[in-house]
Chain A
C-alpha cells in the first residue's frame, strides 16, 4: 500500500504536463504591442512636439510606481513589471493633449491604476479599460484642456515657449484652432446640429446636401493641417495590422469595429455612394485607430470568444458613430469602450452557453 499523500506530493513535483510550451509570455506580448505602437507614437512626437514624450513618460513611470505601491498595500506579490500596464499607460499618454498641464497625466495615471485597475483586483480582474476610465475622468475634470489640441506644426517649428504651459497649474486655455483630433469632428457636429433635426438618418443624409461648410472642413483636413493626423493614424494602422498579422491581437474586434463604422457611413448616404470625406474624417481625424487596435483588443476588459469579439467590435463601432453624429461629446471613443466593456461578459457568456448547449445536445443525440 503506497502512502497516497507522498505519492501526491511526488507527482505534484514531477508531473507537470504539457512538457512543451509555446514560449509565448506576457513580456513578448507587450514587446510586440510596443513595437507596433512605435510608428504612430514617433509620428505624434514629430508633429506635436515634446509634450507627447513628457505625457508618456509621466504616465508610464508614475503608473508603474502607483501599481507597485498599491500592490504593496494589498500584499499582492507582483512578479516583474506589469507589462500590460505599460501599454495602457502609453495609450493614455497618447490620448492626453500634448499641451496639457502635467497635472493632467498625473491625475489620469493615478485614476487609471487605482480606480481603473487595482480596485477591481488587479491583473485580469478589471471590467473596464483603465486607460479609458481615466480618460473619461479627465474629460469630466479638465474638459477645456482635454479638448485643446495644438496645431501640428512639427518638431522643427515647435514653439518651445508653449512648454511653459505644461508646468503650470491648469488654467482655462483658449481652444486652439487646430484642425486635428476632435476639432474637425466638433465641426462636423456643429454642422449637424445647426442644419439638421434630431433624427440621425435625416441628419446624415443632410450631410450630402449641406456640404458647403463641411466640405471646407474636410477639404482643409485633407490638405494642410489634417495631413499630420492622417500620417499619425496611418502609423497606428500599420502597427495594428502588424499586430493582427503576428496574432498578438485577435483580428475580430478591430475588423468588426471598422466595418461597422464603414457600414454606418454607408447607411448615411443610403448606400448610394461611398462617403469618402465622412469616412476619412471618422477614421483619420480622431484617435479611432489607436483605440481600435490597442483598446478594443485589451485582454481583461474585452470579449474573449471569437463571436464575442465580433459583437464587441460592432457595439463599439456603432456607439462611436452614434456619439460622434448625435452625442454630446465630439469624440465618443472612451464612452463607447466603456459601454462595450459592460456588454463583454454577457457576450462571452452567451457564446459559452450556446456552445455548451450544442455540445450537450450532440451528447444527448449520441446516447
Chain B
C-alpha cells in the first residue's frame, strides 16, 4: 500500500447520492420565512472561555472592569486556545465555573465570564478593515488566527480553532478548499439563510480563506433544494473562480467525511477535522467570520443561529452576540410556555435536549428547536431487534448497526473495533428508521466514547511501560556507572600510591623516626642530668 496516497480530485466537482441515507420532510421553511434578525442585547452575556480543546483562555480583564465591544477578554499564547472578545460593551461582573453542554452526550464545567451589558448605547472599539488582495497569506493567517474563530463541523461533533486548521492546511499543501454550507437537518436553516442574505460576504470569505490556506481550488457546497440560496450564490459568483456544488437532498449529506469522499470519489473513510486527501472543509460560518475579520476588522463575537419549532410563534434566524442565553432568544420568538417545552439543540436527528435554557449560545450552536407537544417523536420503549436490516440499508457508512448494537451491549471491544464502530458518524439515520425504536444512536455514542477511553488507556499504559523500561535501563546504567566509578577510584588511589610507597616501609620509617627521637631524648636526658641545662629540652620541643 502506498503510504499517504491521495485520491486525485476530479476536474468536475460533483456530489452524488451517498449509499444509504434517508429522506426527511423539510421544515426549514418555518425559519426561512423571515430574514436574519439582529438580536436586542440581553442584560447579561455568559461567555465560555474554553471553546476548543482542553485548555481555557486566560482572562485579561478582572471583575469590575468595563470593556468596550470587540475588546479582548481572554487570550493565550497557544494556537489551540481561541481568544475571546467582548460581544458588547459592559462590565465584567463575574468569572466562575459553569456547566455547559459541550456535546450531545457531555456536560463539562467550564470557566465562564459574565458580562453585564450597558443599558445605553453599545460602545465599540474603532476598527479598520483591509483589502485582502493587498495582504500576504501570512498576514491574512495571523489576522484570522487572532480573530477567535472556531470552525464547527457537523453540528458540534467536532470543533477546531481556525488558527490550527490554517496552520495544518499551509503545512500539507491543501489542493481544494470546500466551504460546506450543506444542512441536511430538517429544521436548521442558518447556513441557507447566510447564503441567501450574505452571499457576497461568504464568497469574499471563501476567497480570503483560499488565499490564506494556499488552496489551488475553492468550492462552495450547498443543498440542492435550497433554491433561493443557490440562486443568490450563483449570481454573486459570476466571474469568480470559485465553484458551486449542489449536494443531494438527503440526510446526512452534510457530513464532511461524506462530502470529501463524494468529491474525491473515494471510500468514505474516517475523516479528521482538518486536511483529508488534499481537501480542507470549513463551515460557511467560518467564511462569513473570515470576511468580517478582514474587511471590517471585526473579531468573531456573533453567529447566525436558527430558532425554530412549532412552539415558537415567529421562528427565524438571529444574528446572536455570543453568550446570549437561549431563553432570551426563545422569548424573542414568542415561545409559549418555555419551561414545559423540550428544546432540542443542533439537530432533530442527532442533537440533544437542553438541560437548562440559561446556557449561553456559543460558536458551535447551529440552532434550537422548541418543539410543540406532538411535533417531535417521544422516546418509545424499545422492543427486541427483529433483524429487519433497515439500519444497514440507511447507514451512510459500510457498517451494520444491528451487529454493532449487539456487540456494544456485549461490550466486545475488540470485535467492535474490527466492525468499525469508530467509523460511525453518529448521524442517527439508523435510529430514525428502526421499527423497534432501539436506542442505536445513544448506544453508539456511549460505545464510541468508551472505545476512545480504552484506546487512550492503552496508549497511556504503553507510555507508562516505556517510562518504566527507561527507568530500569537508567537504573541499570547508573549501577554500572557507580561500580565503574568505584573501580576507577580504587585504581586511581592505587596508581597515586604506587611509586616508592608501601605501608610496611612507611611503618618502619615511622618506627625508625620514633626510635631516633627516643634515642635522642634518652641521650639528651642523660646530658641534662649530667650538665643541669634545660635549653636542650626546649630545642627538642
Q: Which residues of A contact B (CB under 8 A)?
A: 1-2, 7, 10-11, 14-26, 28-29, 79, 84, 122-124, 250, 299-300, 304-306, 348, 352, 355-356, 358-367
Contact = CB atoms under 8 A, between A and B. Distances in A.
A19 B376 contact: yes
B371 interface: yes
Given A348-B400, A356-B420, A359-B397, A15 B104 contact: yes
A24 B433 contact: yes
Nearest to B400: A352
Contacts of B99: 2
Contact of A356 (B24, B351, B418): B418
B4 A18 contact: no
Given A25-B437, A352-B403, 18 more contacts: A1-B109, A2-B107, A17-B348, A17-B353, A17-B428, A18-B377, A19-B349, A19-B351, A21-B432, A22-B22, A29-B388, A123-B385, A304-B387, A359-B267, A361-B1, A362-B267, A366-B269, A366-B276
A107 to B, nearest CB: 26
B107 A7 contact: yes
Contacts of A366: 269-272, 276-277
Nearest to B442: A16
A306 B355 CA distance: 40
A2 to B, nearest CB: 6
A19 B348 contact: yes
Contact of B387 (A16, A79, A124): A124
Contacts, number: 159
A123 B305 CA distance: 45
Interface in B410-434: 418-420, 423, 428, 431-433
Contact of A21 (B344, B402, B437): B437
A18 B350 contact: yes
A10 B355 contact: yes
Contacts of A367: 4
Contact of A299 (B269, B387, B400, B428): B387
B137 interface: no
Contacts of B76: none
Contacts of A22: 22, 432-433
Contacts of A2: 99, 107, 109
Nearest to B445: A17
Interface of B: 1-5, 22, 24, 99, 104-105, 107, 109, 186, 266-272, 276-277, 342, 344, 347-353, 355, 369, 371, 376-377, 379-381, 383-390, 392-393, 397-400, 402-403, 418-420, 423, 428, 431-433, 435-437, 439, 441-442
Nearest to A26: B435
Contacts of B107: 2, 7, 11
Contacts of A10: 355
Contacts of A358: 267, 398
A365 B4 contact: yes
A356 B386 contact: no
B398 A79 contact: no
A285 B382 CA distance: 43
Contacts of A29: 388, 435
Contacts of A355: 398-399, 420
15 contacts: A2-B109, A10-B355, A11-B355, A14-B353, A15-B104, A16-B353, A17-B349, A18-B349, A19-B376, A20-B432, A122-B384, A250-B389, A299-B386, A366-B270, A366-B272
A90 to B, nearest CB: 17
B349 A20 contact: yes
Sorted nearest first, the 7 A-B pairs with minimum C-beta distance are A355-B398, A304-B389, A362-B269, A16-B379, A21-B377, A19-B376, A18-B428
